[in-house]
A and B are shown apart, each in its own frame.
Chain A
Amino acid sequence: AQSVTQLDSQVPVFEEAPVELRCNYSSSVSVYLFWYVQYPNQGLQLLLKYLSGSTLVKGINGFEAEFNKSQTSFHLRKPSVHISDTAEYFCAVDGSNYKLTFGKGTLLTVNP
């Protein structure tokens, strides 16, 4: 079984500031890792994923994440956020069984 912990439930930042959303996971098997974004009143869409290979993964909208196996982390970063990045972000893990386990989400609020 696997679990995901998103360390911050809310992250407020000012526009053009950098941001990091933290995610730790636990699993007894190799995992695939994902970040999804949910804009208000919408479904989820994939930001980026780590399946194998390079531990630095780039996604859509300028986001990137780094897989750290020793620290069991997959933190999401963006060097300069926009108002339009205001959304809820979910970290998820797939323990190679095609089922996702989600964290509880981090609400990113970008203020002008």
Chain B
Amino acid sequence: NAGVTQTPKFQVLKTGQSMTLQCAQDMNHNSMYWYRQDPGMGLRLIYYSASEGTTDKGEVPNGYNVSRLNKREFSLRLESAAPSQTSVYFCASMKTSGSYEQYFGPGTRLTVT
């Protein structure tokens, strides 16, 4: 069991470039989440997907889009990167019945110059 995997681990972009962060889970979880972590800010929810085929905005969705490709995969896209999007991005998944525990990936460290 790999749990939650994220690619890439590190990325440097120039302002205006686009990229997609990939996330996959092998735990057959229904819900998946994208967070960003900034110093002194904790984790803030960008988008989430309660189940395959559905996505909803979180606290800080501006500048991002998501795709729930299938039950396993949930990608985050930056169409035109800005320096304010420099952050560490975490993907998480949860079963949504019983445990309420979210399982986190190792993170992607993104720098936008």
Q: Which of A62-70, A75-83, A98-106 lies at the binding interface?
A: A98-106
> In angstroms, how far is the closest chain B Cβ from the Cβ of A75?
17
Asked whether, in the complex, the Cβ of A43 is within 8 Å of the Cβ of B105, the reply is: yes
- Cβ-defined partner of B58 (8 Å) among A99, A103, A104: A99
- Cβ-defined partner of A90 (8 Å) among B43, B48, B58: B43
Q: Which residue of A lies closest to B104 (CB)?
A: A43
> In angstroms, how far is the closest chain A Cβ from the Cβ of B105?
6
Asked whether, in the complex, the Cβ of A98 is within 8 Å of the Cβ of B31, the reply is: yes
Asked whether, in the complex, the Cβ of B104 is within 8 Å of the Cβ of A44, the reply is: yes
Chain B, interface SS category: strand
- Number of residues of chain B lying within 8 A (CB) of chain A: 23
CA distance A105 to B94 in the complex (A): 21
B94 proximity list for chain A (CB < 8 A):
98
> In angstroms, how far is the closest chain B Cβ from the Cβ of A50?
10
Cβ of B42 < 8 Å from any Cβ of A? yes
Q: Which residue of B lies closest to A32 (CB)?
A: B100
Cβ of A71 < 8 Å from any Cβ of B? no
Cβ of B41 < 8 Å from any Cβ of A? yes
Q: 11 more A-B contacts (CB under 8 A) besides A49-B101, A98-B31, A101-B45?
A: A34-B100, A34-B101, A36-B104, A44-B104, A90-B43, A98-B96, A99-B45, A100-B33, A102-B42, A103-B42, A105-B40
* 6 closest residue pairs by CB, A with B: A43-B104, A102-B42, A104-B42, A44-B104, A102-B43, A43-B106
